Amino acid sequence: MVANLPFGRVYGFAFILAWSRYLFVRFYPRSSMEFFLDGHINAYREIGGAARENWYDNLASVVVRRKPELTFNAQFVDYMSHMGVAIHACNPGKGNEKGRIERAIKDRRAFVETNEFADIGDLNRNGLEKPDSGISGVSCSTITTQGKESSRDFIRPYIYSYS
């Protein structure tokens, strides 16, 4: 998700739990691997663990190429192996494999582009829990408590050691 705001372009990292539809969103100043991995770290910290498997659209950060065979980004494979998370790539043109993430991104982008934020910090602090998430008619603040709890069976504890 990319948004052009008065203070510059921002890139959104969105992570949704398939079972509970719990949505985690964070915005970054660039779309580099550094920020992609930081998004995962913060999402895992927020939900209290790492999902056993993650499905990804065909992002360049995840999928290097599809033909002649599916090849994942080596740096990302190393990170996810360290976390003990299996990665899967969605098949092109198969929207049913993506869960509800595309609707969540569309709703979040519309909210971000129609509201004012002083800077990226303000956006990450104040812009993410306000709107209806568009997921089962439940707001992000409601999903925060119910979504994480109903996903516990699918999440392994995540231990992070940096501050």
pLDDT higher than 50, residue 12: yes
What CATH homologous superfamily does 2-154 map to? Ribonuclease H-like superfamily/Ribonuclease H (3.30.420.10)
Residue extents of the structural domains in the chain:
2-154
Judge whether 159 and 55 are in contact, CB under 8 Å. Answer: no
Assign 132 a pLDDT band (cuts: 50, 70, 90). Answer: very low
How confident is the model at residue 50, as a pLDDT?
A: 85
How confident is the model at residue 101, as a pLDDT?
A: 77
Q: Mind listing the pLDDT tens digit for each residue in 13-62?
A: 988 887 777 888 999 999 999 999 999 999 988 888 888 888 888 888 99
* Cα 42 to chain centroid, rounded: 10
φ, ψ at 30 (rounded to 5°)? -140, 165
Higher-confidence residue of 124 and 131: namely 124
How confident is the model at residue 58, as a pLDDT?
A: 82
How confident is the model at residue 22, as a pLDDT?
A: 84
Residue by residue, DSSP assigns 114-132 as: TS--SSHHHHHHHSSSSSE
- Paired tokens of 135: 């997921």
* Cα 143 to chain centroid, rounded: 15
Q: Mind listing the pLDDT tens digit for each residue in 69-101?
A: 999 999 999 999 988 899 988 887 766 666 667
pLDDT higher than 60, residue 130: no
CA distances to 99, 121, 146, 151 from 141, in Å: 20, 19, 9, 16
Assign 63 a pLDDT band (cuts: 50, 70, 90). Answer: very high
How confident is the model at residue 159, as a pLDDT?
A: 55
Higher-confidence residue of 45 and 155: namely 45
Residue by residue, DSSP assigns 58-83 as: S-TTTEEE-SSS-EE-HHHHHHHHHH
